[in-house]
A and B are shown apart, each in its own frame.
Chain A
Amino acid sequence: DTGVSQDPRHKITKRGQNVTFRCDPISEHNRLYWYRQTLGQGPEFLTYFQNEAQLEKSRLLSDRFSAERPKGSFSTLEIQRTEQGDSAMYLCASSLAASGRAPLDEQFFGPGTRLTVL
C-alpha cells in the first residue's frame, strides 16, 4: 500500500490554458474525493465518486471543471480555460466504504497538486 498518489505535484500554466491532474487512490478504496485548498484556508470539497459514479458535486465546481473516474480506479480533474483564481492546491483523497471492519470510511489524502496560473 503506497497511499494516495497525485501527478503532477506542481503545475504552472498560463491563463486560458487547460490542465489535467491525476489521482491514484489506495488500491482497494472505492470512494475518491477531490478538494481544493487555497492559501490560508482549509480544504474545500469539490466532488466525490463511488466507483465510477460521480455522486456529489460542489457549487465550487464550475462548468470549466470536470472530473472523471472511468474505471473506478484512478481519477482525473480537468480545468479548462484556467483563471488566476484557480491557483490552489488540489487534493485527492480516497476511502473504503464503511463495513463491519471499518465503521467509518476514513479519508486518506494524497500530497496534492499545486497549480499556479500566471
Chain B
Amino acid sequence: EAGVTQFPSHSVIEKGQTVTLRCDPISGHDNLYWYRRVMGKEIKFLLHFVKESKQDESGMPNNRFLAERTGGTYSTLKVQPAELEDSGVYFCASSRNNYGYTFGSGTRLTVV
C-alpha cells in the first residue's frame, strides 16, 4: 500500500506569509495526526482527526494554526501568519485504529 504522503517536502517563507501543508494518509485510515519538531526540541503532538472530525487539538500552539480534513481524506495544516518560531519539521501520521501509526517523511518549514 502507498504510504503517508506529505508535501511540500520543504518550504521557505517569509515571516508574516501564509503556508499550507498537505498530508495524504494511507487509504482507509480514519485516524490522522499532526506532529512537529521545532529546533532542538522533541517531536510533539499537534492534533488528531477521526475522519473529518477533530478529536483532539490540544497540541496546536496558537490560533495561527488551522487544520482541516474535509471529507475525511487528505488534511491540510495552514499557518497564517507564519512566525520565526514556527520553523521546524511537520509530520503527519495515519492509522486504521489507534495501534499502528505510519508517518510521512515530513515537511521542513523554514520561516525567515
A and B together in one complex: no
Task: Report which A residues bind B (CB closer than 8 A).
Answer: none
